[in-house]
Structures are given as C-alpha cells and as structure tokens.
Structure 1
C-alpha cells in the first residue's frame, strides 16, 4: 500500500465573460509533461505560497464568501487562499484581477504583479466550492474554487500560454464540456 499524502492547500479562479451573447470561461490546457493532470483543460490555479499571507490587497472578500470560508478555515488562511487564486491566474495567464496601485518592488511570487502597478482585488471574488483530490493520486490538493467576472480584470490583454498552460483560451460554456476535463470540473 502506498504512502498516504496529505492534500496541499490550493486555489483556483474561474473567470467568466459574456461575448456574442454567450458566457465564456477562461481555461488552459496543462502541458503534456506535467505529472498532475497532464494535457487536461483546467481553470488557472495552484498551491498556496507563504507570500499569499503577507501581500497587501485592494478590498476585502465579500461578506458572503467570508462567511462560507469561515465554516472551514481561519479568516487569515481563507484570505491567503483567495489571494492564491489571483496570483496563480496572473502567473499562468498574465491576467490580473486587480486595482491600480503605485508600482512596488518586492521579492517573491508577487513581484511581477506589483511591478505593473497593481494590488490584488479580493472584492471581485465569490467563493464557489471546495474539492479534495482523492487518495492514491500522484499529487493531492485541497482546492478552493473562486469565481470572478472578466470585467474585474485590471486590463484584458490576450491571455498567454506559460510553462504551466500550453494553451489559454476563452471557451464558450456549451463547448467546455467537450474538452478533456478533470472529473471535478465536469
């Protein structure tokens, strides 16, 4: 029997927009070389980082989201996970859920975000769900899913591929189900 892995805290951001009268979601295809969910279409997201507990933010999570998260997490950890979703989306797509702020020079994973003159905007997030990777998988995550509208993005450059996601695209909701999705996303 294998070693039981404890799930790592993670967060995901589901971005939506309306285009041509249809709702679209931002998704990326994970690079084929990844051990976890290789070649699957996913929403941007990833593991919590210690810096997510320290970064300044614009606005607070909406009260309803705070209340839902408070059922399972201390407020400080809930806030950090919401910030994780924003940071990971920026790292994986270049899109920033943020408000303008004076550029700041800081170290760590938030460096690029703050360098462009942005503060993460927690007020734009809605907490949606929690999913824990089942035992026996190569990697396990205790993921919190947040949602935001594309209108809350600081700017909307074309989302770009990265090392994590080899393709990033806005996908109509009715077409997304036909993609190679993880079971939890369905």
Structure 2
C-alpha cells in the first residue's frame, strides 16, 4: 500500500480586472513537467511556507473572512493571507501592499520589500475552499481569495518581476476563460466567482469542495 499523501495548506488569488464592465482574470500556465497539474492554466497560488506566519500584514481583512479562515488546527488567517500575497508576487510580480519601508524583510520577501511596499490584506476576500482528492501525487487544502485589480500597487500588465513558476501570464476575459485548459476545481471556483460579479464581497455561504472530483461534495464551511 502506498503511503498517504499529506495535505498541505495553500492559498490562491483570483485577481479580477474590470469586474463591472468586461471582467478578466489573471492566469498563467504550469510547466508541462510539473508534478502537480502539469500544463494546466491556473490562478497564482501555492502552499503555505513556514515563514508566512511571521509576516505582519497591514490592512483589514473582512470580519466574515477572518471568521471563516479561523478554526482549531488551522493556520491563523494572517498566515494564509501572507501566503496568498507572497504567491501572487512570486508567480506574477504583482504587489498587494501599501507604501512603506521594510528594511528587516525576511529573505524570501526581500524582492517584494525592494518595491517599497509591505503586504496588505485590504481588498482580499475569502470566497472558496477546496481539498485535493485522494490519489493525487500532491494534496492541498486551498483557500481561494478574490481581489480587484485596482488594488494592485503597480502596472497590472507588468510581469517582469515574476519568477518562472508560471508561463504565459495574461489577463483572460471571463467570457473566454473556460476555453483554456483549466483543472476541474479551477473551473468550479471560476464559476462561483463569475456567478456573483461584479460583487466581490464575501459570499453568503462559503463553498467548500472535497472528496473525489468525480463525486464532489459541497458543504458550507461556515455560515454567517
């Protein structure tokens, strides 16, 4: 019997541009040799790093989001927010932060700090949760956040500071997004967000997907 695959905490950011008019979302393509979701078009995101829990986050996270992110045996909300902001920065070069000097930034945040910003939660909204089903080479307990592209600190079309984790970074019109090679759960999350646009506030109930993708279970992670 193969050993069980540990479930790692993760955070994903769905950045929405022009939600009131012609919405588009920021996505990129995973490498074809990647162990997890090779070649798929995805939102920026990734696992929580040990240092994310030590990052001071500015701005205010909505109280409903904070409550839904809280619970026994779960990372603190600030840790998940830090992971979301860090992954967005690493994979796209886009900054969610406020202007401030950050001279003592940890090593993995120094490039971010060099832009003249500190991470900021203002505008982030927790909208979706999904756990990778058994049988996959890697499993994640992923929390999906949305944010309006207006909250980005720089040019939303400038990806020059991105690492090579995602390729073909681009804004995909929402009307065309489902034509891309998306993972199933990305399709589900996208549909949840699209169904509420232009509203980017916390949903009345938080969708929580888990189990096998062929037999998805949906439940309310926490009600208001």
TM-score w.r.t. structure 2 length?
0.77
Q: Is the 8 A contact 1:105 1:115 kept in 2?
A: no
Q: Is the 8 A contact 1:30 1:167 kept in 2?
A: no
Q: Secondary structure at the match of 1:22?
A: coil
Unaligned 5+ runs, structure 1 = none
Flag as ranges the 4+ runs of structure 1 deviating above 6 A. Answer: none
Once the two structures are superposed, residues 93-140 of structure 1 have per-residue CA deviations (whole angstroms, 9 ceiling, x without a partner) of 000111111142433221111122111111220001111111110111
Instruction: Give the Cα separation in 2 of the matches to 1:136 and 1:91.
Output: 28
Q: Is the 8 A contact 1:89 1:95 kept in 2?
A: yes
Unaligned 5+ runs, structure 2 = 188-224
Instruction: Give the Cα separation in 2 of the matches to 1:32 and 1:59.
Output: 37
2:153 is matched with 154
Report the number of matched residues. 185
1:8 is matched with 8
Q: Is the 8 A contact 1:104 1:117 kept in 2?
A: no
2:175 is matched with 174
1:122 is matched with 121
Instruction: Give the Cα separation in 2 of the matches to 1:88 and 1:182.
Output: 18
1:23 is matched with 23
Q: Is the 8 A contact 2:102 2:118 kept in 1?
A: no
Task: Say what the alpha-carbon RMSD is for the aligned residues.
Answer: 1.8
Instruction: Give the Cα separation in 1 of the matches to 2:20 and 2:83.
Output: 31
1:165 is matched with 166
Post-superposition offset of 1:46? 0.6
Instruction: Give the Cα separation in 1 of the matches to 2:81 and 2:20.
Output: 30
Once the two structures are superposed, residues 138-175 of structure 1 have per-residue CA deviations (whole angstroms, 9 ceiling, x without a partner) of 11111000110011111125235632101100000110
Moved more, 152-161 or 86-95: 152-161
> Which of the pair has the greater relative contact order for Cα pairs under 8 Å at 6+ separation?
1
2:140 is matched with 141
2:214 is matched with none
Instruction: Give the Cα separation in 2 of the matches to 1:6 and 1:83.
Output: 21
1:100 maps onto 2:99 in alignment:
yes
